[in-house]
A = this chain, B = another copy of it.
């Protein structure tokens, strides 16, 4: 029902294998997709997967730091150069919008589409449309930082197959008409009323995506009933102790302890310090995470795609690169 594709999983600076932060969310209901954060070279990462900037519905920026935002001007410029007309929603701090305005002014960037800016600080529900609601959650970091809660809802009508079979109606065109809400007259002249033979069936998928944040419990309310939490785990606890509280990031221990307590069923850790970008480093992160969290756990890598179905998150096999 919902897919997450990681486009950048490194904290602060890119490494040879990991770009700075960006995450694509795409439901299986339509071609629209959303981008959370847009570090430098996000447009380059997009060239390696099947999503296009033309189907991008909106971008949510968690906070103003460059490793989460410096890919924005290039991505918007390229979308213009390749002919985008559709307006783009930008949920972001006012500083990001001010920076984008300054960029357009000083570098003569003329966009071929409108940017609909929604100040992330202004309201809890930052976007709502049929089948999707996005809320933002204030977090704790060196600059104002926010998490985003994406609630997808897919509503379908299903016919009551048992009742139809009991009534002597075999699967066929009549089933389709009833499903679409049309009453059906049978050969014997009797009428099946659609309202009696179909019922609404709704599926929900709730994903919480944290921005940079040193206080995971701020996400407690948002995580109640959520299917997936994606959160930074910049350092192991020992390194966080050594680095000190200045950077205001979470350790693996802190976020996994929280996720266990909040009973989050699926957890994806990301935004790792470049010091862990080697097999030993990731093994260390994994070991620390497993000490505190025993449910469905993933350490994100660039180009990982995860699919959520019936509440279970699974990593998909690598897709053949599209270009």
Kindly report how many copies of this chain are found in the complex they form together: 2
A73 to chain B: which residues have CB within 8 Å?
40, 66, 70
A64 to chain B: which residues have CB within 8 Å?
106-108
Q: Is A217 an interface residue (CB 8 A)?
A: no
Indicate which residue in B43, B67, B106, B143 contacts A77 across the interface (CB closer than 8 Å).
B67
| Contact A74-B40, Cβ < 8 Å, known A16-B47, A47-B14, A102-B99 | yes
| Contact A71-B106, Cβ < 8 Å, known A47-B14, A47-B15 | no
Residue of B nearest to A69 (CB): B107
Min CB–CB distance A266 → chain B (angstroms): 30
Interface string of A69-102 (1 = CB under 8 A from B): 1110110011001100000000000011011001
Min CB–CB distance A245 → chain B (angstroms): 18
Indicate which residue in B15, B40, B48, B96 contacts A106 across the interface (CB closer than 8 Å).
B96
Q: Determine whether the beta carbon of A65 is less than 8 Å from that of B95.
A: no
A41 to chain B: which residues have CB within 8 Å?
40-41, 44
Residue of B nearest to A106 (CB): B99
A96 to chain B: which residues have CB within 8 Å?
106-107
9 closest cross-chain pairs (CB), A and B: A102-B102, A99-B106, A41-B41, A40-B74, A13-B78, A95-B106, A70-B74, A64-B107, A66-B77
